[in-house]
Structure 1
Amino acid sequence: MSPRLHADLADIPAAAWDALAGGQPCLSHAFLATLESSGCVSPRTGWTPRHAALWDGDTLCAAMPRYLKHHSYGEYVFDWAWADAYRRHGLDYYPKWLAALPFTPIPGPRIPGRDAAARQTLIDAVLAEARDSGASSLHVLFPTDEEAGWLRDAGLMLRHGVQFHWQNPGYRDFDDFLDRLAQPKRKKIRQERRKVADAGVRFRVLRGAGIGADDWAFFHACYARTYAEHRSTPYLTQRFFTDFARLAPAACVLMIAERDGRPLAASFFLQDAEALYGRYWGATEFVPCLHFEACYYQAIDYAIQAGLGRFEGGAQGEHKLARGLEPVRTVSAHWIADPRFRDAVHRFLAQERGGVDAYLDELAEHLPFRA
C-alpha cells in the first residue's frame, strides 16, 4: 500500500471514494468535488486541496479530505487565538494542514477506509508528511470517537466542544414529541408556531428533483442576505447548490416559507438514511419566530415523518436546548509542530476540557423533557 496526494478530488474515482465514505452526504465525492469545481474551495479562497489517499495498486484503501489552509474561516473549531499567539512571537501559523469537511461542522468519519489497519496507516503517513512539510500544525475536525482514539495514540491532542442534536426514539408525530416536553417548553413552542401561522406563513417542503431553478435562486438570495446582515460574505455560490443537487438530489431538502403565494424565507438541509442536517437559512423580511419554525420545528416535523433517527442542528446555539435538541460532545484532534506552543496548547486544552465538562453537566440539568 502506498500513500498519494491528490490536488483535485476528481482525480479519485467517485465510486471508489463513496464506497469508503458511506452514505453521509457531506463526505460524499459529489459534495467535496462540487466545492472544488464551483470554486468555493480553491487556493484563491484559502483552501488548497491536498487529499490524502492510501492505494493498493488501483484499489483505494483509505482516504482523508485534507487541505492546506491559509486562514481559519469556515471550520467551526476556533483556533484564531493560537494563530494570534504565533504572530505575536514572530512566527507563521499559516499555512496549516486541515482534515475536515469545508464549511460543515457535521461529525463523522474523517479517515474512511476498508479496515482499521489501512486507516491507521494513512494517519501515520499524513502525520509524517506534516512533520516534514514545515507547516505549523495539523487539525482533524469532528472525527468519530474511534478515529479520535487513533489520532490521540498517534500523538495528536484532543479538543472537546458541544453541539445540539435532536433525537427521535420513534415519535408518531410532532404532537407526540411535544408530549415528552415539560409543560412550559411545550407551551412556548406552541406559541411560537402559532405566531408564524397567524402571520399567514405556510411552508413548501421540496426534495431532490422537486427543487426548481427559481427555488434555488430564491434560497441563495436568502442565504446571502443572512451573511450580509452579519457583515460577512457567503462561502457557497448558487452554482455549488445547483450542481450538487444535480449530482446528489436525494441529499437536498429545501423548505420555503410563503405568504399569499409569495416566498419570504428558505432553509436548506442535507439528508441521508439516518439523519437530517441543518445547514443554512435566510429571510427577506422579519416575521416573529420564523427562524425557529424554518430551522427547527419544520425540520423536526420532517424528520419524524421521514422516520429519521436524529436532526443535527449545526454548530453552537444554546437556545436549541429549549426546543428539544440535546447537548452532544464533539471532538477535534490537533498536532502542533513547535514544542513550546504544543506544550501551551496542551495545557489550554486540559483547562478547556474541564470547562466543557462543567457546561455539559449544567446543560443536563436544564433538559426540556418531562421527568
Structure 2
Amino acid sequence: MTTFRVVRALDAVPAAAWDALHDGGNPFVRHAFLAGLEETGCLRPSWGWRAHHATLWDGEDLVAAAPAYLKANSHGEFVFDFAWANAYERAGLDYYPKWLVGVPYTPATGPRLLAATPEARQALVEGMAAHARALGLSSLHLNFLPENEAATLGAPWLARSDVQFQWRNAGGWRDFDDFLGALSHKKRKNIRQERGRVAAAGYRFRVVDGHGLREGDLARMHALYLRTFAEYGNSPALTLAFFEHLAQAMPEALVLVLAERGDGIVAGALCLRGRDTLYGRYWGAEETSPGLHFETCYYQGIDYCLRAGLARFEPGAQGEHKLARGFLPVLTHSRHRIFDPEFETAIGAWCEAELASIAGYRDLAARHSPFRTDDAAADPAC
C-alpha cells in the first residue's frame, strides 16, 4: 500500500531515490539542482517560496515525486495568473497560498510528475489533489509539463499553453555555416553582419563547462547576472553560492558563454545542458555593443549545440526577435486545478479562449519562419 507524504526540504529525500524516478535528461529536476536552490539561499519564504514537495512511498521505497512549493505570490513562475488572484481578492477570497509544481525561476519544459509507473503517477496526482483540498488551498498548478504528461490530465484540470521560440537541428546541420545555408538569403546575410560587427569590435568568446572554469569565472558571471537584474529593477534570486554549487555538483551540466575584450570578461550567459538540449538561462553585460547580446545568448549557443551534437536549444521565455535568428515557435503546457466550483467554471472559459488565441499566435509566428521554403527546416513541427 502506498503512502502520500509532503516533504518540506529536499535533503530529506535521498538523492539516488529521487533521481531514479527520471531519466536524467533534464538538469532542472535533478536532486542536486533543486536541493541546491534550497541550501544556498535562493528560495526565501519572504519572497513567497516554501518547499512542499509531493512524494509517494511504497514502504521505504520512493515510487513517485513532484518538486512543489507553497506560493504566497505568483512571482518567478512564468505562467501568469495574476488576474486570477485579483478576481479572488475582489470576491473576498484568498487565492494565496497556492500549490505550485514546477522549477523555481525556470521557464523550461521538463518532467514534473516523476514516477516509477503510470499507476504511481496517477496515485501521486490524486494524493496531491486530496492534500490541497485538505489544506483549503485555492488551487494546484503544474507548470511547463511535457506534452505527454499534460495529455494524461483531463478534466477537471484546466489547460493552458504559451509560446516559446526554440532552435532545433532539423536539418542535421554539421556546423554554423551549414545551419546558415538553410535560412533565407536576407536572414542569412543579417546574421553574418551581426556576427561580423561583434568580431570587428574585438570580442572573443570562451565557452566552458564546470570542469573548465578558471578562477573568478563564476564570480564574474554572477556579478553580470546581478547587473542585469539591477538594470530592470528586479530582485535577483540566485546566489553566488548556488552558481558554485552547480559547478561542484553538476559540472558537466553547467555551461558558461563568456565574452572577453581586453583583459577581462565583459559579458556572459549562463546555460544548463541536458542530454540533448541546451537551456539558456541568464545573461549580463557591463557594456553595450551592436550584436553582443545576440552573439552571446543565441549564436554561441547554436554553435555549441552543433559542436556537441545537441538537438535543441531553448534560450528561455518570450522574444519574437529570436524568430529571425532560427528559433521557431513551440507550445508549452501547464495544467491547473481550481477548487472553488464557480471560479473553476469562470477560469475554465477564460482558459479555453486563451488556448485559441495562443494557438493562433503560434501559427502566425510560424508563417514568418526564417528558413527557406524549399528546405525541410521550414516545417516548424511544433
* TM-score under structure 1 length normalisation: 0.98
Aligned counterpart in structure 2 of residue 214 of structure 1, from 216, 223, 226: 216
In 2: Cα distance, 1:14 partner to 1:164 partner:
33
Verify the 8 A CA contact 1:34 1:240 in the aligned structure 2.
yes
Verify the 8 A CA contact 2:165 2:330 in the aligned structure 1.
yes
SS at 1:197's partner residue?
A: helix
In 2: Cα distance, 1:22 partner to 1:239 partner:
27
Write the deviation string for residues 160-186 of structure 1: whole angstroms up to 9, x where unpaired.
111111011321100000000001100
- In the alignment, structure 1 residue 183 sits paired with structure 2 residue 223: no
- Counterpart position of 1:87: 89
- Counterpart position of 1:198: 200
Runs of 4+ in 1 over 3 A off after TM superposition: none
- In the alignment, structure 1 residue 12 sits paired with structure 2 residue 13: yes
- Counterpart position of 2:104: 102
Verify the 8 A CA contact 1:257 1:265 in the aligned structure 2.
yes
Deviation for aligned residue 1:43: 2.1
- C-alpha root-mean-square deviation of aligned residues, in Å? 1.0
- % same residue: 52
Deviation for aligned residue 1:209: 2.1
In 2: Cα distance, 1:212 partner to 1:6 partner:
37
Deviates more, 1:93-102 or 1:34-43: 34-43
CA shift in 2, pair 1:305/1:145, >3 Å = same
- Counterpart position of 1:43: 45
- Counterpart position of 1:146: 148
- Counterpart position of 2:367: 365
Verify the 8 A CA contact 1:223 1:281 in the aligned structure 2.
yes
- Amino acid across the alignment from 1:45: W
- Counterpart position of 1:311: 313
Deviation for aligned residue 1:213: 4.3
Verify the 8 A CA contact 2:198 2:289 in the aligned structure 1.
yes
Structure 2: runs of 5 or more not aligned = 374-382
Verify the 8 A CA contact 1:52 1:63 in the aligned structure 2.
yes
Q: How does 1:1-371 map to 2 (within 5 A)?
A: 1-23=2-24, 24-153=26-155, 155-169=156-170, 170-371=172-373
- Counterpart position of 2:380: none
* TM-score under structure 2 length normalisation: 0.95
In 1: Cα distance, 2:315 partner to 2:249 partner:
24
Verify the 8 A CA contact 2:28 2:110 in the aligned structure 1.
no
SS at 1:250's partner residue?
A: coil
Write the deviation string for residues 173-217 of structure 1: whole angstroms up to 9, x where unpaired.
000000000011001111111111111001011111222341011
Deviation for aligned residue 1:148: 1.1
Deviates more, 1:315-324 or 1:39-48: 39-48
Number of residue equivalences: 370
In 1: Cα distance, 2:258 partner to 2:151 partner:
41
Structure 1: runs of 5 or more not aligned = none
Write the deviation string for residues 36-90 of structure 1: whole angstroms up to 9, x where unpaired.
0011113233111111111111211111001000011110101111111111222
In 1: Cα distance, 2:44 partner to 2:58 partner:
28
SS at 2:204's partner residue?
A: strand
Verify the 8 A CA contact 1:189 1:323 in the aligned structure 2.
yes
- Amino acid across the alignment from 1:88: R
